[in-house]
């Protein structure tokens, strides 16, 4: 059995280039950052052909593949929620540069949601039953998150979730998390990661303009942490259950991942603990971590920039 190896270049991965097409780009001006020069926010119209992606596209590992599928399944609904949360307050933002940034953010998240709709169609075509899970996730979002939570808390939840996605995006480059992924999936996730870095400050900046309360910011972090970790785990289990792995096979998968990634801290530390620790700082701002240059590097490696050029 092959194992995911996000570090070694010898990790099993198909040799064919990812089919990527870029048909247009729209941009929005970037406002001045408190600590770093931010890139323009660009909504790139990218399409991915998932036809050649195998079921276990992450180095042949079922566990690694479904850990990735588990969170990616959430994106279409999650990112449309992010857009609604920010858009609710757009008429209260009197900074035209931030409004332009927000519109760029809407464009990027809209394209991400659409690309991840296609990703979910790929999972269906591969034979996975995901619609009951996605219906439950949609019900929760509609009846709990959007009906019970006030708009400011929804915005704070979005700002915190965007901090987590920015961390995952940085890890995609710095920790080479995607090295063993199929080229199409790697290209999709690198494009998405690049744009998450580009727009990582937008929801936070809108929240600061709407209500700069530290308590509200932390409440959003609590909601984002509980919801993202819970639904990610449920999504992963929904898919893994369909593999009907024996306990011995599960242990073999776990040991294989540990063997190929001995220094990995795991998702809980790498994403959640780091994100919470940073976010607790009273003077935290997403742009304090000046990693905007990684967006260009991720895009270049994804093939999207070459296709655009």
- Please report, as ranges, the residues that interact with Fe ion according to CB under 5 A: 79, 109, 112, 162, 165, 196
Q: Is the CB of 5 or the CB of 109 nearer to Fe ion? A: 109
Residue closest to Fe ion when measured from CB atoms: 112
Q: Is the CB of 33 or the CB of 242 nearer to Fe ion? A: 33
Q: Is the CB of 106 or the CB of 128 nearer to Fe ion? A: 106
Instruction: Give the number of other Cβ atoms within 10 Å of residue 208's Cβ.
Output: 15
Nearest distance, CB of residue 77 and Fe ion, angstroms:
12
3-state SS, one letter per residue, for 148-210: HCCHHHHHHHHHHHHHHHHHHHHHHHHCCCCCCECHHHHHHHHHHHHHHHHCCCHHHHHHHHH
Nearest distance, CB of residue 193 and Fe ion, angstroms:
9
Q: Is the CB of 65 or the CB of 77 nearer to Fe ion? A: 77
Nearest distance, CB of residue 109 and Fe ion, angstroms:
5
- The secondary element (H helix, E strand) that includes residue 42 is strand 41-48
Please give the Cα distance from 175 to 171 (Å, whole number). 5
Longest dimension (CA), the chain: 59
Burial 229-241 (b: 16+ CB within 10 A, else e): bebbebbbebbbe
Nearest distance, CB of residue 78 and Fe ion, angstroms:
8
Q: Quick one: CA dihedral 185, 224, 87, 281, positive or negative? A: negative
Q: Is the CB of 62 or the CB of 163 nearer to Fe ion? A: 163
């Amino acid at each position: 059995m092959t194992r995911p190896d996000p570090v070694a270049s010898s990790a099993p991965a198909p040799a064919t280039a990812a089919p990527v097409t870029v048909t247009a780009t729209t941009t929005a001006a970037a406002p001045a950052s408190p600590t770093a020069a931010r890139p323009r926010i660009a909504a790139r119209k990218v399409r991915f052909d998932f036809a050649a992606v195998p079921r276990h596209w992450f180095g042949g590992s079922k566990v690694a593949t479904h850990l990735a599928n588990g969170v990616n399944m959430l994106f279409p609904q999650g990112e449309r929620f992010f857009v609604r949360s920010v858009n609710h307050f757009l008429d209260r933002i009197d900074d035209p540069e931030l409004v332009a940034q927000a519109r760029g953010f809407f464009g990027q998240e809209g394209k991400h949601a659409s690309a991840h709709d296609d990703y979910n169609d790929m999972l269906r075509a591969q034979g996975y039953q995901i619609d009951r899970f996605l219906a439950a996730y949609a019900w929760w979002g509609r009846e709990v998150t959007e009906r019970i939570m006030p708009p400011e808390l929804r915005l704070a939840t979005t700002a915190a979730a965007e901090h987590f996605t920015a961390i995952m995006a940085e890890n995609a480059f710095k920790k080479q998390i995607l090295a063993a992924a199929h080229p199409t999936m790697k290209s999709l996730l690198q494009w998405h990661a690049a744009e998450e870095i580009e727009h990582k400050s937008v929801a936070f900046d809108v929240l600061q303009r709407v209500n700069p309360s530290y308590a509200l910011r932390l409440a959003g972090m609590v909601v984002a942490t509980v919801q993202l970790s819970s639904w990610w785990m449920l999504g992963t289990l929904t898919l893994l259950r369909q593999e009907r792995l024996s306990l011995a096979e599960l242990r073999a998968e776990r040991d294989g991942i540990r063997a190929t990634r001995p220094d990995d801290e795991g998702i809980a530390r790498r994403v959640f603990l780091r994100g919470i620790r940073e976010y607790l700082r009273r003077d935290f701002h997403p742009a304090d971590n000046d990693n905007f240059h990684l967006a260009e590097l991720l895009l270049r490696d994804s093939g999207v920039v070459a296709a655009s050029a």
